[in-house]
Amino acid sequence: MAYENIRLETEDAIAILTIDRPKALNALNSKTLQELESAFNSLPATARALIITGGGDKAFVAGADISEMASISAAQAREFAALGHRAFATLEQLPIPTIAAVNGFALGGGCELALACDLIYASEKAKLGLPEVSLGVIPGFGGTQRLTRVVGKMRAKELVFTGERLDAAKAKEIGLVLDVLPADQLLAHCKAVAGKILKNGPLAVSQAKRVIEFGADQDLRAANELERQGFAVLFGSEDQKEGMKAFLEKRAAGFTGK
């Protein structure tokens, strides 16, 4: 499928999605959100990991498109937020690991997009934050909730209330990003992480993502039961048999995702 504002490429089993509106610092307008949702719903069946990054050398995604939002009504804002929530929920619920390669500004909707990914890595020049209050609004694509779950309630309140923009080092310090890389090494690092993931059983990785995501919002007893069920169901797979046979035979496993 041809897209106007994003590019979707594949390298082996890694899908690489680039938001490509560099003149607008990759800002998320309705068209871009619709294309993201479509891309998340139609990734190649061979893709076992997804990397998201921004086109150009300044921004991952600088935010939602203020030129579109400035004149919309409350009803239209509700629809715009619903579109963003739907697109990011689709991303979050993908059965494969997702990695945000934050190569520049990740503010507002850009930070929210990164937060919907499983792993976040940033370049040394990245800036992250949720500055919506400076515009008289609040984050509308899940930022208040996902940020709270990543950095804790009090730190999330501080960042949202002040609208502070964090440099990459501070973002790593508070746990918002995992590692900070030189700009010219960021994408290669994300590909290397994806490559490590690809060596493992795809059904196991998918099940691990599922139980972590769903278990995080449950009490410990319910979350442990979810893990127990996920562990057991994998013993009905060919990958489990292959993985354990390969271990006993001291060879690399040939996983098929079955």
**By the 8 A CB rule, do 63 and 113 touch?**
no
Would residue 132 show up in a list of annotated catalytic residues for this protein? yes
Residue carrying the six token digits 């150009």: 56
Q: How far is CA 106 from CA 127, 136, 190, in A?
A: 6, 19, 17
Q: 92, 112, 124, 238: which one is catalytic?
A: 112
- Listed in sequence order, the residues at least 6 apart from 84 whose beta carbon sits closer than 8 Å to its beta carbon are 28, 33, 64, 109, 112, 140, 141, 142
Q: 92, 132, 158, 164: which one is catalytic?
A: 132
Would residue 242 show up in a list of annotated catalytic residues for this protein? no
Strand-pairing partners, residue 6, are 19
For residue 218, how many other CB atoms are within 10 A of its CB?
Answer: 12
- Residues with a catalytic annotation lie at 112, 132
